[in-house]
Amino acid sequence: MAVISRGFIGRGGEANPDLPAGQYLTADFPVLSAGPTPHIDTVDWQFSIRTDSETLHTWSWDELHALPIEDIHTDIHCVTRWSKLGTSWRGVSLDTLFANVTTSDKFVMAQSYGGYTTNVPLADLLGGQAWIALEFDGDQLDPEHGGPARLLIPHLYFWKSAKWIHGLEMQSQDEPGFWEQNGYNMYGDPWLEQRYW
Amino acid sequence: MTGTSEARDGRIGNWKVGVVTSIRRESASGRSITIDVPGWGGNIAGQHTDVRLTASNGYTAVRSYSVASAGVGDRIELAVDRLPSGEVSPYLVDTLREGDELELRGPLGGWFVWTPQQAENVQLIGGGSGIVPLMAMIRSHEASGSTTPFRLLYSVRTPLDAFFRAELESPSANLEVTWIFTRHAPSGYSRPAGRITAADLEAHGFPAALAPTVFVCGPTGFVETVATALVALGHEPDRVKTERFGGA
């Protein structure tokens, strides 16, 4: 049984069906990163998908921008309990990027400039569920928020949406990434509150 | 829903019911709160805990707070700053009293932590209530008898805004504390009031050549400024661990 907190009222109000359990709404866009923010020049920027030691699909900044760029309107949920509803992004669908990629592996390790990693099943990157995001709210993505480009997988807790994305590496097994090795859930579904181990 | 998540989160364990044993005023808006949490079982310095409040109508609010204490046992200390638009922090600062029950789940986090086995120099850089996890490291360092050199740069608006002021004004032999006052410095203090700069890090921090592990905790702007300056001073980015707080 929950303990009633004497004198606690909270913001209360109507339960919002768009808000997963344990989350609260914020109008800000809090920044959470494990280390310094890398600053990456788009001239040097590259994104790649590696399927095996011999096969690397790569895109430069310009090559990525030559692909169809989609408008994305979505809610985002951070494991630190803030949620932001109705955010606007622009980016390239992972369906587009995987169109010519052949792999039998079911898992992906996302790798970022600066060394951050996070694991995600391939199935969660396809089917209109994930993007390489280039813009937030009409502007180029700030370095603090993962610019020049970040992964955007809004149906999972936001640590899966790796900032400063550099590449995806296919894996036959689901291996833990950075936060997943440091106490956080392998999958991270906000609607199941899959926060921790 | 909680049933599902608790089963899934077996390692963290269920919500535990703690009892507040004492509350100390740290500043006008800050309180340290000591809680007995049967089953807590101890934590590593730098870890945090979820705190859950439940209203009489069943409405709940959960936030994470860094633990200011470290080591074995079921007694922990939190330190909380009231955020003006916050939902949980005003309750913890203004309403909570000794003897009240509080639900907690943890300890959480395995990245922004320090253990006495670590032998390298440690540079701590805290802004405001960002001192809390660093304080746990300082206490763990002292309690373990570690002779590893520690340095702390602690940025606060004025001396009256400092958390753990008495403790930090008489540091142990292996800890060097440098205060940064951003609004008002005490009279006679050589550094004029102002925000932390690369010059402060260079003058009072361990040089990058010594390859210290650096822990930076504070508001986002503070952490961005400090972490960027550290990298510019030659610190390896993977030796600079950051924890930023936003939200309420």
Give the start-to-end residue ranges of the domains of chain B.
Answer: 2-108, 122-245
Res A31: pLDDT? 84
**Cβ within 8 Å, pair B242-A114:** no
| 3 state DSSP class of B62 | strand
Task: Read off the pLDDT of residues B12-57 as tens digits, 9 standing for 90 and up.
Answer: 678 999 999 999 999 999 999 999 999 999 999 999 999 999 999 9
Q: Provide the percentage of residues in chain A whose pLDDT is more than 70.
A: 98
Nearest Cβ partner for B54 among A3, A183, A197: A3
Mean pLDDT of A140-158: 97
Strands A131-136, A150-152: pairing is: antiparallel
> Rounded to two decimals, what is the model's pTM?
0.92
Nearest Cβ partner for B227 among A11, A35, A115: A35
Nearest Cβ partner for A196 among B108, B227, B242: B108
Residue tagged 């809680």 (tokens): B35
CB contacts of A22 in chain B (<8 Å) are 1, 5, 60, 62
| For residue B94, pLDDT beyond 90 | yes
Domain B122-245 has what CATH class?
alpha beta
| For residue B248, pLDDT beyond 90 | no
Distance CA B236, CA B216 (A): 14
With bands split at pLDDT 50, 70 and 90, how would you rate the model's confidence at B173? very high
CB contacts of B109 in chain A (<8 Å) are 182-183
Strands B213-219, B240-245: pairing is: parallel
Give me the CATH code for the B2-108 domain, please.
Answer: 2.40.30.10
Tokens coding B128 = 């405001």
* ipTM for the complex shown: 0.89
Give domain limits for chain A. Answer: 47-192
Fold of A47-192: Sulfite Oxidase; Chain A, domain 2 (3.90.420)
| 3 state DSSP class of A171 | strand
CB contacts of B99 in chain A (<8 Å) are none
- Whether the CB of B21 is below 8 Å from some CB of chain A: the reply is no
Q: Provide the percentage of residues in chain B whose pLDDT is more than 90.
A: 90
| For residue A11, pLDDT beyond 90 | no
Task: Read off the pLDDT of residues B211-238 as tens digits, 9 standing for 90 and up.
Answer: 999 999 999 999 999 999 999 999 999 9
Nearest Cβ partner for A81 among B58, B63, B95: B63
Res B2: pLDDT? 33
**Cβ within 8 Å, pair A115-B56:** no
Side-chain half-sphere CA neighbours of B227 within 13 A:
27
Res A30: pLDDT? 85
Task: Read off the pLDDT of residues A23-60 as tens digits, 9 standing for 90 and up.
Answer: 999 888 888 889 999 999 999 999 999 999 899 999 99
Instruction: Of B176, B179, B183, give the one whose Cα is nearest residue B163.
Output: B179
In eight-state DSSP terms, residue B226 is H
CB contacts of A179 in chain B (<8 Å) are 111
Tokens coding B161 = 């805004």
Tokens coding B123 = 């540079």
- Whether the CB of B110 is below 8 Å from some CB of chain A: the reply is yes
Mean pLDDT of A75-79: 96
Helix or strand run (H / E) with residue A197: none
Task: Read off the pLDDT of residues B98-142 as tens digits, 9 standing for 90 and up.
Answer: 999 999 999 999 999 999 999 999 999 999 999 999 999 999 999
